[in-house]
Amino acid sequence: MMKLQTYGGVSLVATLAIVYHAFSSRGQFYPAMVYLSTSKISLVLLLNMGLVIMCTMWQLTKKLFLGSLREAEVERLNEQSWREVMEILFAITIFRQDFSVSFLAMVTALLLIKALHWLAQKRVEYIETTPSVPMLSHVRIVSFLGFLLVLDSLFLYSSISNLIRTQKASVSLFFSFEYMILATTTVSTFVKYVFYVTDMLMEGQWEKKPVYTFYLELIRDLLHLSLYLCFFLVIFTYYGVPLHLIRELYETFRNFKIRIADYIRYRKLTSNMNDRFPDATPEELNASDATCIICREEMTTAKKLLCGHLFHVACLRSWLERQHTCPTCRALVVPPDSGTGTAGHRGSQSDVHQQGTGTTAQGGGVAGDNVSQHEARLRAAAAAASIYEKSYVYPSANRLVWSPGYTAIPQVQRHTADSSNTESGGESSIGQSQPQLAAQGGAANLSFSQFPPYMFVPGANLAYGERLGSDPNLTASPLEAQKKLLQHRIEILQNQLQVLQKPKPKESVDMGPTMASLDGKGKSIAASSSVSDCGRHEDRVDSLQLVVGLLLSTVGIFHCQALSPRYTFVVEETSYKRLCSTKNILTVNGQFPGPTLYARAGDTVIVDVYNKGNRNITLHWHGVKQPRNPWSDGPNYITQCPIQPGARFTQTIIFSSEEGTLWWHAHSEWDRATVHGAIVIYPKKGATYPFTKPHAELPIILGEWWKEDIGQIYDETIQSGGDPNNSDAYLINGQPGDLYPCSKPDTFKLIVDYGKTYLLRLINSAVQEMMFFAIANHNVTVVGSDASYTKPFSTDYVTISPGQTIDLLLNADQSPNNYYIAAKAYVAGARIPYDNTTTTALLRYNRNSSSTPTSLPNLPSHNDTNASVHFTSKLKSLADKNHPVDVPHKITTPLFFTLSINTLPCPSNSCTGPNGTRFATSINNISFVDPTIDILQAYYFHVNGAFGTRFPNFPPLLFNFTAQDLPLYLQTPKQATEVKILEYNSTVEIVFQGTNLVGGDDHPMHLHGFSFYVVGRGLGNFDKDKDPLTYNLVDPPLQNTIAVPINGWTTIRFKADNPGVWFMHCHLDRHMSWGMDMTFIVKNGKGPGAQMLPPPQGMPPC
């Protein structure tokens, strides 16, 4: 677009030319002026020059008082301008008999003055939400508001004077009304700014500010409504229906009605609060934690709401000025007319509901400080890994993690060739688990797929004879059990050493069942050798001698401490059988699902990743914030280039405030379908769970299975441009369940004892689908999500997005029987293909006589959006004094992101998307394109051209986002690699708005490097005036993945206090691959603690 300076220069030259022509051709002043006022060309050029002068004065005014405009202010101008132009055109049709050059000039001036008012309001909003504003900005905004008020008064005086002089209805009536509205708006904005400054001078302690602001807005809306009504009646009387007023009149009436309703509710609730709300008794104060959740101060006296929650009376009054629901449970605050008996009754219910906080056993081991012991263990693990290509790591996701007080008892080994592909299936359950070991005070760091199976019994709670009879091999000490386990392993290694030391025959030798037990996948090993294998044979003998010696030394180490949190992950192809057919899949350490990482809050864990697979790979530690360490975050071409086949990369996993369940997975193409596992983060030493101690706990991982190779499916999807093939089955802990062919014997079984409580760590690793999950005849209690504790609530089903984790307490309180555990897809889009099957597992009570399970649980319909939103809306942070919330209130960086499914044209309409196009997705109409070098290295080493920095704060195209039959031109996005730069410690609010382009869908959005507070959500288009009033700023859930509902919106807030490069994307992998991604770069702060760490050695090359 031609700049104003250039356009103004051309206009000036043209105007001077036409004036020169008039005077040179007419010779005298009067004829020249007649010519200029009657010639159409002259008139157009003169009017154009007048418009240029007005715009120049507008630009100078803006530069003087505002300086450079922010993107939000530019967006406000673009949004309002077109609407005002349309309304002015409607107004011109009413006053067409008064149309003249002066009228046109006045209308143009009015539009420019209105634009200045919009900018003033937006700048005041910005100042109010910015923690630190220079004094010059305050001087400028005060001067600007004063200037606008003078301008409004002058034009208003001129219009009223003309009305008085003519004494008839004319266009001056229109201008009088408009400048009255502008003047009252300016006064209201100035008074609101004064309120802000007063509150700032009182350091945010002015309790009456919300009340005065409320009354100010109420009076302003009343005045505007009165003016609109008067003007409407006058115009209707003299000119007919004023079409340009209908929208403004309706919106003003609606806002005023809402404020009146709020005012009535507020007066009803706050009048005579001492009588309406009963005082809390000392017993009730003692029963609660005696902390007011609003002010976070202790309570000596308090008021009790109907729901039973307690608050300071002053805090409650202040809260009710903004909301009319309980700050804790969101129940409506409507006191009964007759006494307080109901309140007391409801309060008791609430108290019962909130009981159950207690302590739990501390799990997970932590590394000691003894360097020699640490090195000895690492040498032993490395030596063993060199022989068996396995690492000594924590148990995998479908093996149990037991509380202290459990011990391990050897059982008969059950590995066979046929069952080798189902190590995650079978009796991987409570009371009859896959091989593993848990030590007192922490889980042992061993992979027991190479050891004989062991069964766990609660050594602290039951005498062994009660359950297993008298076995001379049993021991009451977990450490003694570990010693016996290692001694048994040493015996096996010594037997193998003797076999290898024997003279070898010329033909191949079957090593027998002893050798079969050594393979980490449970496969029989048949070793064929010849004379040429002699060197390799001798190496294996030497290695076995080394391992035996190191394992013997390790027996003593177990008396001192658990193994250190260092893992070896070997990415490799492994053969697995599902759905009657066998295929090779990419795994970690041959396990599917992969091994579980265990840590405590604040730990640092090292993972050595070896890529022995056949394609590039990266690993991401989903939900771990990795403070100042984006180098180990893992997304492909964002923070690193992929680990190529045959290469290795050591990743440092830094845990901070996370506590609960997270997971890790591949972050390259769609490899996470099989490359994933759980992360369990226990409280710090000395801390406990904020809920009743569970009898035992285990991960439950939901997944998908394709008979076809997942890499081939990815390639076909990208090449064709269409939807990917549906999965052939869903999985629970790697098993499809007995509703699928060839799957019943290996169905995952969860074996429980009646009357005990179990912690289920639910993870959705599905590649393409959100899931509904339930257990027949059982409710579960939600106590955490995304490694953050939540207020507990009971539910009969769970909605879980891909990437999300939810912690559930299961009470085994039903009659002993077999019960189905089931999960199926939630897909709300009408035209989205999906796998319409159900995966199952079994909840089996010990000592039940039934052999068949009950019926399936009642899961919601596959497209039940209300059920999905209802469950998600119940998630709220625990928000107690041990787990406080820190929701940003003053936002410095407001962002509005549209999430859209799009299409891109294909040559000759050759793709399989809609009408021969290619599917794409976008955020703010930008479809992300992977760079050729990872963004983190390009940013750190100042590599130019790798990415752009103009990711828009707001969508470039504004339309009815959720309307049906949107124009086709909106479907084509811009393809680019753009990032958004954030200042360190800036407070960010993102409103995600789903659109109905091509077809609406849910979008589980995941942000790397941060957890965020989900402060609001809803269906339909986001209303910037109404919806923020419903935000939960008291106890919103703290998450790293949130599902934006189909054709709906979700608002999140976080503080950008983690410098680095952080990816954000939809966790439906097809949407991510199509371009629904973007990247934040958080700049370094001041001081070493606010600086990004330097890159580690051995970063994978691009």
> What CATH number is associated with residue 937?
2.60.40.420
- Residue 879's nearest CA partner among 361, 360, 354, 358 is 354
Structure tokens at 308: 């039973």
Q: Are residues 967 and 867 in the same domain?
A: no
* Distance from C-alpha of 886 to C-alpha of 890, rounded to nearest angstrom: 12
Structure tokens at 175: 């201008």
Q: Are residues 839 and 966 in the same domain?
A: no
Handedness of CA 876, 879, 885, 887 (dihedral sign): positive
CB-based contact 808:790 (threshold 8 Å) = no
593 prior amide bond cis, ω within 30: yes
Residue 19: C-alpha distances to residues 38, 105, 351, 379 (Å): 13, 20, 86, 94
- Residue 995's nearest CA partner among 966, 954, 1024, 975 is 966
Residues 6+ apart with CB under 8 A from 222: 256
Tell me whether residue 26 is in a domain: no
- First-to-final CA distance of the chain: 40
Tell me whether residue 908 is in a domain: yes
Q: Are residues 848 and 914 in the same domain?
A: no
Q: Are residues 823 and 927 in the same domain?
A: no
Residue 923, phi then psi, degrees to nearest 5: -120, 120
Q: Taking the model in full, what pTM does it have?
A: 0.56
Half-sphere exposure of 1044 (CA within 13 A, CB side): 31
Which residue's entry shows tokens 């590394």? 367
For 769-807, write each residue's pLDDT tens digit.
999 999 999 999 999 999 999 999 999 999 999 999 999
Rg of the chain on CA atoms, in Å: 35
Count how many residues are written for the chain: 1102
CB-based contact 570:588 (threshold 8 Å) = yes
* Distance from C-alpha of 630 to C-alpha of 649, rounded to nearest angstrom: 14
Burial of 1098: CB neighbours in 10 Å, binned 0-12, 13-18, 19+: exposed
Structure tokens at 306: 């109907």
Amino acid found at 500? L
Structure tokens at 292: 């007011």
The reported pLDDT for the residue numbered 490 is 62
CB-based contact 285:310 (threshold 8 Å) = yes
Q: Are residues 841 and 920 in the same domain?
A: no
Q: Which structural domain range is residue 764 located in?
A: 688-871
Q: Are residues 836 and 918 in the same domain?
A: no
The reported pLDDT for the residue numbered 298 is 75
Burial per residue of 536-555, b for 16 or more beta-carbon CB atoms within 10 angstroms, e otherwise: eeeebeebbbbbbebbeebb
Ramachandran region, residue 121 (left: φ > 0; alpha: ψ -120 to 50; beta: rest): alpha
Domain boundary pick from 233, 267, 301:
267
The reported pLDDT for the residue numbered 205 is 64
CB-based contact 650:608 (threshold 8 Å) = yes
* Distance from C-alpha of 281 to C-alpha of 264, rounded to nearest angstrom: 30
Pairing of strands 581-588, 597-600: unpaired
Half-sphere exposure of 104 (CA within 13 A, CB side): 10
Domains identified in the chain, total number: 3
Structure tokens at 848: 């039940």
* Distance from C-alpha of 373 to C-alpha of 379, rounded to nearest angstrom: 10
Q: Are residues 815 and 700 in the same domain?
A: yes
Tell me whether residue 804 is in a domain: yes
Q: Are residues 695 and 773 in the same domain?
A: yes
Q: Are residues 859 and 928 in the same domain?
A: no
The reported pLDDT for the residue numbered 556 is 42
The reported pLDDT for the residue numbered 555 is 44
Domain boundary pick from 230, 252, 267:
267
Tell me whether residue 676 is in a domain: no
* Distance from C-alpha of 217 to C-alpha of 211, rounded to nearest angstrom: 10
* Distance from C-alpha of 1003 to C-alpha of 769, rounded to nearest angstrom: 10
- DSSP assignment of 1033-1075 equals -SS--EESEEEEPTTEEEEEEEEE-S-EEEEEEESSHHHHHHT
pLDDT below 50 — which residues of the chain? 1, 335-479, 504-542, 544, 546, 548, 550-564
Tell me whether residue 657 is in a domain: no
* Distance from C-alpha of 400 to C-alpha of 438, rounded to nearest angstrom: 9
Q: Are residues 1038 and 911 in the same domain?
A: yes
Domain boundary pick from 839, 871, 903:
871
CB-based contact 694:758 (threshold 8 Å) = yes
The reported pLDDT for the residue numbered 1013 is 98
Tell me whether residue 499 is in a domain: no
CB-based contact 355:288 (threshold 8 Å) = no
Helices (H), 66-100: 71-94
Q: Are residues 860 and 948 in the same domain?
A: no
Tell me whether residue 515 is in a domain: no
The reported pLDDT for the residue numbered 330 is 57
* Distance from C-alpha of 477 to C-alpha of 455, rounded to nearest angstrom: 15
Residue 697, phi then psi, degrees to nearest 5: -150, 155
The reported pLDDT for the residue numbered 854 is 82
- Residue 712's nearest CA partner among 678, 673, 657, 770 is 673
CB-based contact 436:482 (threshold 8 Å) = no
Three-state helix/strand/coil letters over 830-862: CCCCCCCCEEEEEEEECCCCCCCCCCCCCCCCC
Tell me whether residue 927 is in a domain: yes
The three-state secondary structure class of 160 is helix
Q: Are residues 845 and 913 in the same domain?
A: no
* Distance from C-alpha of 1061 to C-alpha of 965, rounded to nearest angstrom: 38
* Distance from C-alpha of 324 to C-alpha of 331, rounded to nearest angstrom: 9
* Distance from C-alpha of 305 to C-alpha of 269, rounded to nearest angstrom: 11
